[in-house]
Amino acid sequence: MSKQFQGRSRVWLTTGLLLLGIMIATAATLRQTNLVGASPASSATLSNDECMACHGESGMTLTLESEEILWLSIDANKFTNSVHNLEEVACVDCHTDITAFPHPERSAHSLRELSLELYTSCKECHSEQYDKTLDSMHERTLAGGDTNAAICTDCHNPHTQARMTHPVTGEILLLEKVKIPQTCARCHSTIYETYKQSVHGYALTSKYNQDVPTCIDCHGVHNIGDPRTASYRLESPQICASCHTDSDMMDKYGVSTDVVDTYVADFHGATIELFEKRSPDHDSNKPVCYDCHGIHDIKSPDDPDHGIALKENLLITCQRCHPEADANFPDSWMSHYVPDAEHYPIVFYVDWFYKILIPVVIGGMLLFVISDIVRRIIDKRKGASHS
Amino acid sequence: MSKTPRTYPRFELARRIEHLIMLLSFGTLGITGLPQKYPSSGISHFIVNLFGGIEGTRSIHHIAATVMMVGTIYHLLVFGYKFYVKRTRLGMLPALQDVRDGLQATLYNLGFAKKRPQMGRYTFEEKLEYWAFVWGTVIMGLTGFMMWNPITTSGILPGEFIPAAKAAHGLEAVLAVLAILIWHFYGVHFKIFNKAMWTGSMTEEEMLHEHPLELADIKAGVADRPVDPIILKKRQRVYFPVAAILTTIMLAGVFGFVNSENTAITTLPVSVERAGIGYDPQTPTPFPTLAPTPTPQPMEAVADLTWSGYIGPVLQEKCSMCHGALGGLSLASYADAMTGGQSGAIILPGDGANSLLVTIQIPGDHLGQLTPDELSLVQEWIDAGAPE
């Protein structure tokens, strides 16, 4: 090997190493920006107008490796009304890796991969909600390998999501409330179909009634847990109670607010109440509200086809756990009535009988015992003074 | 040197054991019953924890009830023996004299009588307690049966008897426990500490205080005397077979009571399937793989484009923060909205494009801004004549 060649190769080697070093450093810096640079203020180098100059054009698409079409156009109208635009969030606050044109290459092979890459930037602003999702059923499913499990952007399209809550009161706005079940329905469509027919779902979707619960009122939002667990079941009466003991709300519909008290006063509710306190993680075969009233198909008790105020329907309900029950059996459940002379008179008069018997007997005993004590004290003093 | 005082037998060993069994079962029933009557109170949770959960508490309650039922059968057999074979005096039967004694005792306590009543083997206090216990046992047994066997019960009686039984069972229990705490505890623990139920006997002095008439009978030799052995044998030959048959019937009854019905205790497990299929994505929309892009979605169909069906709630939502009565304009009701405000009518039925409600929104900078979708629906509604 000649000396000259050796010298040349050293130059190449040095240059090569140098280039490699630069590449590594650049890569590291880029990685750094990906992690830290996500805070909105530091990376807002591009204005939304600059982005929309291209992305405002309709029909911009990109075909991914999976042969799915990625829409690059942003509907300016919808984005204008989105809460992100109203709150002046910049495109690059979420798309943190984009600082200039041309944009860096994407590694995602499919739309889903792309969503999964991008959605974590939500936590930069919505950390509270994001942290809650970490405890959710969806997150557990995702961690279990099911990439279809819902992530932030599946429910809240960041380009179109309107303001959901009232800026002052924090209450969910009616039109957004109506959309909640539809959002869940994208994945849980059969449940939605059932819910729509239920007394709550019908009122919401057909009457725009704001009082009724949507999915999130029972399942929670962001930290949606597993509703099949024993603890969810045992705690579920409290969920129903949160509205059904609110007299302001229930009076509007003429619905009793005694439903929880009467449930706990009876055998089933008393057992569930005690069971939940002692062993919230164990299954109990005693029914909770939804075992009789339905889960997603909750009907009004007066519903002509399914209402359990009708004895025939109630009997079918009873027979799910008491298969030998016959026609008289449903009357053993007082249908959430507080007994009075009209409803369940035998129970009412038994109560009434003891309301008299107990004070008379116990009062009489107490009077005799007290008089006896006093008399004995007096006798003793007399006896003592005589001796 | 004092002589050991003479004692008189009061309760034979078998009766003392019977009392102990009743005491234990009654106490257990009371303690395990309390959380079932008052499930929300703190003490209930403490008791339930003590017995390892409500199912455990309930099992112990059932065992104690069974013990008490068997105890009651034993008591009946002993009674039968004394009644038929030994022909003892039925000292526990209530009599008019007991009313007189009770009255006199009360009057004495109140200072209207000169002396306490003189009583025999069973005082009116003891009889009251005994018969109260009998009443309680009958009520608790019957109502307990109804709750333990609700399906059998509702096969014979109206279903309402079961909650009625539950009410009676709980309230009778309150009555029984209070009666024991007040009447029994005072009578045999506080007034005097009466140990006869444990020692089986009483001293002469105690007898003089508590049962002077019985003491007099014993001294006069007119108390119960042993039966002639030959007659005793004869009566036993009749009684024992009869008792054996009765015992079998009664024990079979208890067995049926406890075992005939299981659905109320071990009901079928509740199936989770009724909740519906958890994951069942909508078709044909290939969610959730749809990326967050502006695929134009059809506007939500509004079923009922009227004031009450759609417009009212929307305006309520978007406008009522300011236009309650402010600015002379209220959007609280259909009539108010149609009246308009300081600038005149805001809704010109049939002419959405020129209605102030629409024109004020067009520039897009109104404080309560409707979305384009909402605005177009409002316009459509006015064009349609603004139906209520």
Q: Which residues of A touch B264 (CB under 8 A)?
A: 322
Considering the domain boundaries, does residue A43 fall inside one? yes
Q: Going by C-beta distance under 8 Å and a sequence separation of 6 or more, which residues neighbour residue B255?
A: none
Give how many domains chain A has, as a whole number.
Answer: 2
Q: Give the pLDDT band of residue A342 (cuts 50, 70, 90).
A: very high
What ipTM does this complex have? Answer: 0.75
Judge: B267–A334 Cβ closer than 8 Å, yes or no. Answer: no
Domain hosting residue A373, numbered range: 345-381
Q: What is the distance of C-alpha B40 from the center of its chain?
A: 11
Give the distance from residue A277's alpha carbon to the nearest chain B alpha carbon, in angstroms.
Answer: 7
Considering the domain boundaries, does residue A326 fall inside one? no
Judge: B160–A331 Cβ closer than 8 Å, yes or no. Answer: yes
Low-confidence ranges of chain B (pLDDT < 70): 1-4, 263-278, 282-303, 321-322, 324-328, 365, 367
A178, A188, A372: residue with CB nearest B278: A188
Judge: B291–A186 Cβ closer than 8 Å, yes or no. Answer: no
Q: Which of A154, A185, A216 is the last residue of a domain?
A: A154
Query: Coil, strand or helix: which one is B263?
Result: coil
Judge: A81–B371 Cβ closer than 8 Å, yes or no. Answer: yes
DSSP assignment of B204-232: HHHHHHH-HHHHHHHHHT-S--PPPHHHH
How far is A14 from A6, CA to CA, in rounded Å? 12
How confident is the model at residue A42, as a pLDDT?
41
For A172, the token pair is 């969910």
Phi, psi torsion values for A188, nearest 5 degrees: -110, 60
How far is B35 from B54, CA to CA, in rounded Å? 8
B36, B163, B186: residue with CB nearest A369: B186
Per the model's pLDDT, the better-predicted residue between A268 and A7 turns out to be A268
Give the distance from residue A88's alpha carbon to the nearest chain B alpha carbon, in angstroms.
Answer: 15
Candidates B290, B274, B320; CA nearest to A151 is: B290
Query: Coil, strand or helix: which one is A68?
Result: coil
Place of tokens 């041309």: A102
How far is B240 from B237, CA to CA, in rounded Å? 6
Judge: A322–B151 Cβ closer than 8 Å, yes or no. Answer: yes
How far is A344 from A364, CA to CA, in rounded Å? 30
Q: Going by C-beta distance under 8 Å and a sequence separation of 6 or more, which residues neighbour residue B325?
A: B332
Over residues A183-199, the mean pLDDT reads: 90
How far is B84 from B87, CA to CA, in rounded Å? 5
Judge: B292–A157 Cβ closer than 8 Å, yes or no. Answer: yes
DSSP assignment of A180-196: HHHHHHTTBHHHHHHHH
Fold classification of B7-259 is Fumarate Reductase Cytochrome B subunit (1.20.950)
How confident is the model at residue B265, as a pLDDT?
66
For B121, the token pair is 């083997």
Q: Going by C-beta distance under 8 Å and a sequence separation of 6 or more, which residues neighbour residue A219?
A: A225, A227
Query: How would you classify residue B111: left for phi > 0, otherwise alpha for psi between -120 and 50, otherwise beta?
Result: left
Considering the domain boundaries, does residue A215 fall inside one? no
How far is A120 from A313, CA to CA, in rounded Å? 49
Phi, psi torsion values for A340, nearest 5 degrees: -140, -175
B147, B182, B293: residue with CB nearest A71: B293
DSSP assignment of B268-328: PPPPSGGG--S-B--SSS-TTS--SS--PPPPPPPS--SIIIIIHHHHHHHHTTTTTTGGG
Q: Which residues of A touch B321 (CB under 8 A)?
A: 168
How far is A241 from A262, CA to CA, in rounded Å? 12
Q: Which residues of B touch A346 (CB under 8 A)?
A: 158, 160-161, 164
For A238, the token pair is 């409290």
- Closest chain B residue to the Cα of A149, Cα to Cα: B288
Give the distance from residue B47's alpha carbon to the nearest chain A alpha carbon, in angstroms.
Answer: 10
The 10 Å CB-count burial string (b at 16+, else e) for B227-260 is beeeeeeebbeebeeebeeeeeebeeebeebbee
- The CA distances from residue A111 to A64, B190, B296, in Å, are 8, 84, 17
Query: Coil, strand or helix: which one is A382?
Result: helix
Q: Dihedral angle at the C-alpha atoms of B30, B31, B33, B34, nearest 10 degrees?
A: 110
How confident is the model at residue A32, as a pLDDT?
38
Judge: B275–A328 Cβ closer than 8 Å, yes or no. Answer: no
Residue pLDDT, tens place only, A265-323: 998 998 888 888 777 888 888 899 998 998 898 999 888 888 888 888 899 988 888 88
Judge: B270–A190 Cβ closer than 8 Å, yes or no. Answer: no
How far is B104 from B123, CA to CA, in rounded Å? 12
How confident is the model at residue B268, as a pLDDT?
61
Residue pLDDT, tens place only, A9-62: 565 666 556 565 555 555 444 443 333 333 444 445 788 888 888 888 877 888
Domain boundaries, chain B: 7-259, 307-383
Judge: A278–B53 Cβ closer than 8 Å, yes or no. Answer: yes
- Closest chain B residue to the Cα of A291, Cα to Cα: B270
Judge: B147–A339 Cβ closer than 8 Å, yes or no. Answer: no
A-B interface: how many C-beta pairs under 8 angstroms?
A: 255
Judge: A357–B175 Cβ closer than 8 Å, yes or no. Answer: yes
Query: Coil, strand or helix: which one is A336?
Result: coil
Burial class (CB in 10 A: 0-12, 13-18, 19+), B4: exposed
How confident is the model at residue A152, as a pLDDT?
93
Give the distance from residue A334's alpha carbon to the nearest chain B alpha carbon, in angstroms.
Answer: 7
Please, are residues B216 and B204 in contact by the beta-carbon 8 Å criterion? no
Judge: A362–B277 Cβ closer than 8 Å, yes or no. Answer: no
Please, are residues A225 and A232 in contact by the beta-carbon 8 Å criterion? yes
Please, are residues A181 and A201 in contact by the beta-carbon 8 Å criterion? yes
Q: Which residues of A touch B132 (CB under 8 A)?
A: 361
Candidates B113, B318, B79; CA nearest to A375 is: B113
Candidates B198, B224, B196, B376; CA nearest to B302 is: B376
* End-to-end Cα separation, chain A, in angstroms: 139
Give the distance from residue B346's alpha carbon to the nearest chain A alpha carbon, in angstroms.
Answer: 23
Q: Which of A86, A119, A154 is the last residue of a domain?
A: A154
Q: Which residues of A touch B314 (CB under 8 A)?
A: 174-175
Judge: A326–B154 Cβ closer than 8 Å, yes or no. Answer: yes
How far is A138 from A132, CA to CA, in rounded Å? 11
Residue pLDDT, tens place only, A134-185: 999 999 999 999 888 999 999 999 998 988 888 888 888 888 888 899 999 9
Considering the domain boundaries, does residue A1 fall inside one? no
How far is A233 from A281, CA to CA, in rounded Å? 9
- Closest chain A residue to the Cα of B280, Cα to Cα: A188
B108, B111, B294: residue with CB nearest A160: B294
B168, B285, B314: residue with CB nearest A186: B285
Burial class (CB in 10 A: 0-12, 13-18, 19+), B343: exposed
How far is A280 from A299, CA to CA, in rounded Å? 28
B7-9/A69-71 β-pairing: unpaired
Suggest the residue from B142, B280, B299, B366 to mutate for an interface test with chain A (most A CBs closer than 10 A): B280
How far is A333 from A259, CA to CA, in rounded Å? 12
Q: Which residues of A touch B40 (CB under 8 A)?
A: 264, 273
Q: Which of A154, A189, A217 is the last residue of a domain?
A: A154
Candidates A98, A82, A160, A165; CA nearest to A129 is: A165
B150, B287, B300: residue with CB nearest A332: B150
Judge: B317–A174 Cβ closer than 8 Å, yes or no. Answer: yes
Judge: B158–A188 Cβ closer than 8 Å, yes or no. Answer: no
Considering the domain boundaries, does residue A80 fall inside one? yes
> What are the contacts of A45-50 at 24+ separation with CB within 8 A?
A45/A92, A45/A99, A45/A100, A46/A90, A46/A91, A46/A92, A46/A98, A46/A99, A46/A100, A47/A90, A48/A85, A48/A90, A48/A91
Q: Which residues of A touch B110 (CB under 8 A)?
A: 371, 375
Q: Which residues of B touch A287 (CB under 8 A)?
A: 270
Burial class (CB in 10 A: 0-12, 13-18, 19+), A51: middle
Phi, psi torsion values for B9, nearest 5 degrees: -65, 140
Q: Is the confidence at residue A194, as pLDDT, over 50?
A: yes
Alpha helices by DSSP H, chain B: 13-37, 42-50, 54-80, 96-110, 124-148, 150-156, 161-179, 185, 196-199, 204-210, 212-220, 229-259, 312-319, 334-339, 356-359, 372-383
How confident is the model at residue B122, as a pLDDT?
93
* End-to-end Cα separation, chain B, in angstroms: 109
Judge: A354–B159 Cβ closer than 8 Å, yes or no. Answer: no
